Amino acid sequence: MSDEQAVETPPEQAASAPRPVAPRPPRRGPGLFTVVVLPALLTLSAVAGFLALTGGLPGDEDTAGTPQDDAAGGVNATYGPWLRRSAEACSVVTPSFLAAQIDQLTGFSDESTASGEQGIAAFTAAGWRTWGRDDDGNGHSSPHDPADAIMALGRQDCSLARKITELRTDGTVNGDLVDLTLAAYAAGADAVADAGKVPAGARTYLGEVKSRLATYADFDREDPSGGAAPANAILAAPTTTLTVTSPYGSRKHPLTGVTKLHTGIDFGAPQGAQVSAARDGRVVFAAPTKAYGNRVVVDHGLIDGKRLETTYSHLSLLEVTAGQTVRTGAPVGRVGSTGLSTGPHLHFEVIYDGYYTDPQPWLAPSG
């Protein structure tokens, strides 16, 4: 936004004929205007000038840009939950992966480019027709809507990751899945397949994105405030036994080999065992997914002013539908091994205020 500049009108030229000069009145001492009013006006003018130059008094900055509203890398904190949700689409993509990619593409700027790329994720019109959706439910899908753009980029990246995973499984390509996926974004999956590795044309892009990953590492971790559970555990056991086969925390995925946050707890249980709602709530998702297999998400409302959700994944059978209300202990599905899974188990997550958090402190002891 440009600043308006005041333009001074040049003084009128004096008439060539001499003007009669009025006699000056007798000189008197300074009046009330000179002593009181004029200094006050000068002071106000100086203050106004200072505020115009500095943008306001200290402590009166626009709250939208204050540090407490920023997250990793100075990015608006409201992007965090969307980055995490978008990364759920597959095991290769992480929140920091998406954030670093957006940083390299646009620096999180929403300005359109001469080549037709739009929004923070730099989607072309054709790309948006393929990947864009109204993910935040505001009634329209737009690459200029950060939530829609982040989710669309995750879908595009995960689609590439699936192609690359298949190519690596077939032995067509070799290398790290993250590197190969980023290369496919930059140069296309066919170029990666032809090279059998990261092609030369994608190395600069790959290096620029990976150099930014550490800046956004906080997005891969749980709620920076700790995501503390209430003093009394408020979730019932989702299975009859709570034998932990893989805890919450950073781990190397047994199938993809990618090290990232294991966003929940894996409970060992036999195929077909009952999986139950951990608390009263409303089912907001119940459908098959690529990575999580058959997955159920239950919204339990607000706890201490923050939204609490639980998820149940790799189910062999779904026993609820989206929109359904469930009570604590009600069946939501059966233990299985659908999606990216090495055997029957329940992957159980707790999402508090948009962040994954360790489910263990939330769970009351079983039976």
Count other Cβ atoms within 10 Å, centred on residue 152: 24
Residue 176 has pLDDT above 90, yes or no: no
Q: Are residues 193 and 258 in the same domain?
A: no
Which residue reads 């106000």 in tokens?
44
Domain count for the chain, please give it.
Answer: 2
pLDDT at 89: 78
Determine if the pTM surpasses 0.85.
no
Confidence at 366, pLDDT banded by 50, 70, 90: low
Q: Which residues pair with 262 in a beta bridge?
A: 249
What whole-number distance in Å separates Cα of residue 261 and Cα of residue 264? 9
The SS3 of residue 231 is coil
244 CB-near residues (< 8 Å, 6+ apart): 265, 266, 267, 268
Same domain, 176 and 297: no
Mean pLDDT of 65-90: 70
d(CA 60, CA 62): 7
Residue 73 DSSP SS3: helix
Domain boundary among 204, 220, 236: 220
The CATH code of the domain that includes 340 is 2.70.70.10
Please give the radius of gyration of the chain, using alpha carbons only, rounded to the nearest integer. Answer: 30
Instruction: Please give the pLDDT value at position 202.
Output: 95
272 with 335, same domain?
Answer: yes
Q: 220-224, 269-273, 287-291, 296-300: which has the minimum mean pLDDT?
A: 220-224
Burial of 335 (0-12, 13-18, 19+ CB in 10 A): buried
Percentage of the chain lying above the pLDDT 90 cut: 47
Same domain? For 338 and 274 the reply is yes
Note whether 92 and 181 are within 8 A (CB): yes
Could you tell me the maximum CA-CA distance found in the chain, to the nearest angstrom?
111
Same structural domain, 145 and 266? no
CB atoms within 10 A of CB 262: 18
> Is there a domain that residue 335 lies in?
yes
Its domain, for residue 198, covers 73-220
Q: 234 with 364: CB under 8 angstroms? A: yes
Asked whether residue 67 is domain-assigned, the answer is no
Q: What is the mean pLDDT of residues 274-280?
A: 97
